[in-house]
Amino acid sequence: MKKILVATEKPFAPIAVDGIRRVIDQAGFEFALLEKYTSKEQFKEAVQTAHALIIRSDKVDREILEAASNLAIVVRAGAGYDNIDLQAATDHQVVAMNTPGQNSNAVAELALGFMVMMARNNYNGSAGTELSGKKIGIHAYGNVGRLVGKIAKGFGMEVFAFDPFVDASVIEADGVTVLSSVEELYKTCQYISLHIPANDKTKQSINYELLMSMPHGATLVNTARKEVIHEDDLLRVMSERKDFRYATDIAPDCLQQLIQEHPGKFFATPKKMGAQTEEANINAGIAAANQIVDYFTTGNTRFKVNN
Ligand code: 3PG
């Protein structure tokens, strides 16, 4: 019998785990659960007998894949799959998939929540500002970016986007103004919401020049990945610009310095929680389970991300 392991250092909501278990039971497969593991050894041991794996931001590297000698498929219940060594998966003939769009609304809601929090000075009681009438730039118009634009319009914001991989007509159809370069986006918008993946091209790409070019009252919101920020540049910008604010869902390496030097202009969640809602967990977890069942029963590889 095929064994499907859910391995999540940061657990899904119990209601989502129940849903995943139901899908697996109904398909006649075996369900296994490893939550809140504290060492790689525990993960390696659990994966040894698994034929399929459901993960979140859990790192699936070559060592894990080597330990997983029965593994045929790993599904990242979420959008970003930079936590999977895709080459190693391919080398071990393991199919890697994600579940695009399933947790996007939760992340988009958090991004707007961060903007309100920054606009109201971290709720410190002083007079803040409003989002209405402000310009927001969506940096990458994927599933999350698109929803951020939709919610931002509800706040009365003017929405702009830059995404070289999405046809301008698709963005314009949502009533969003397309800008032709990343420089133009940062120069135009007081609020920037980051939705770029972390890869060789994007790592450390959010730099001094871009951040310094933002209009007065600049607020950068990062619900994407910490690696896309050039942290030394961010620190420099925050020192040079008293009006600059940064809110992030992914604690930066320079966290302590930001807390000490820029209190009130900065916020980071204690643990990444953009996708941490019951709804997102249910959607992404059950989609992952269904994709695995479908792969084993019909060979469907629709959401495959490796070669
Ligand atoms: C994603 O890529 O889907 C998000 O970053 C969510 O990650 P998480 O499942 O670890 O919360």
Query: Does residue 241 share a domain with residue 120?
Result: yes
Query: Does residue 149 share a domain with residue 60?
Result: no
Cβ(100) to ligand 1 under 6 A? no
Query: Does residue 45 share a domain with residue 15?
Result: yes
pTM, entire model: 0.97
Residue 276 alpha carbon, nearest atom of ligand 1: 11
Query: What are the pLDDT digits (tens) for 276-302?
Result: 999 999 999 999 999 999 999 999 999
Cβ(56) to ligand 1 under 6 A? yes
Query: Does residue 199 share a domain with residue 157?
Result: yes
From first to last of the 307 residues of the chain, give the pLDDT tens digit.
999 999 999 999 999 999 999 999 999 999 999 999 999 999 999 999 999 999 999 999 999 999 999 999 999 999 999 999 999 999 999 999 999 999 999 999 999 999 999 999 999 999 999 999 999 999 999 999 999 999 999 999 999 999 999 999 999 999 999 999 999 999 999 999 999 999 999 999 999 999 999 999 999 999 999 999 999 999 999 999 999 999 999 999 999 999 999 989 999 999 999 999 999 999 999 999 999 999 999 999 999 999 9
Cβ(226) to ligand 1 under 6 A? no
Residue 272 alpha carbon, nearest atom of ligand 1: 11
Query: Does residue 216 share a domain with residue 244?
Result: yes
Instruction: Find, among 103, 65, 57, the residue nearest to 83 by Cα.
Output: 57
- CB 94 within 8 Å of CB 279: no
Cβ(274) to ligand 1 under 6 A? yes
pLDDT at 113: 98
Identify the residue whose C-alpha is closest to ligand 1 atom 5. Answer: 80
- CB 52 within 8 Å of CB 44: no
Residue 128: which CATH number? 3.40.50.720
Cα→Cα distances 273→122, 159, 241, 278, Å: 18, 25, 28, 11
Query: Does residue 162 share a domain with residue 70?
Result: no
Query: Does residue 193 share a domain with residue 89?
Result: no
Identify the residue whose C-alpha is closest to ligand 1 atom 3. Answer: 78
Asked if residue 166 belongs to a domain, the reply is: yes
Asked if residue 306 belongs to a domain, the reply is: no
Query: Does residue 197 share a domain with residue 123?
Result: yes
Q: Within a 13 Å sphere around the CA of 236, how many CA atoms are in the beta-carbon half?
A: 12
| Domain membership of residue 69 as a residue range | 3-102+276-298
Q: Tell the burial category of 273 from Cβ atoms under 10 Å away from its Cβ (0-12, 13-18, 19+).
A: middle
CA of 57 to the centre of ligand 1 (A): 6
- How many domains would you assign to the chain? 2
Query: Does residue 284 share a domain with residue 258?
Result: no
Instruction: Find, among 268, 265, 254, the residue nearest to 222 by Cα.
Output: 268
Query: Does residue 206 share a domain with residue 74?
Result: no
Q: At what angle do helices 278-298 and 14-26 cross, to 10 degrees?
A: 20
Q: Within a 13 Å sphere around the CA of 133, how many CA atoms are in the beta-carbon half?
A: 2
Which residue type does 60 have? V
Query: Does residue 108 share a domain with residue 96?
Result: no
CA of 81 to the centre of ligand 1 (A): 9
The span from the CA of 155 to the CA of 116, in Å, is 10
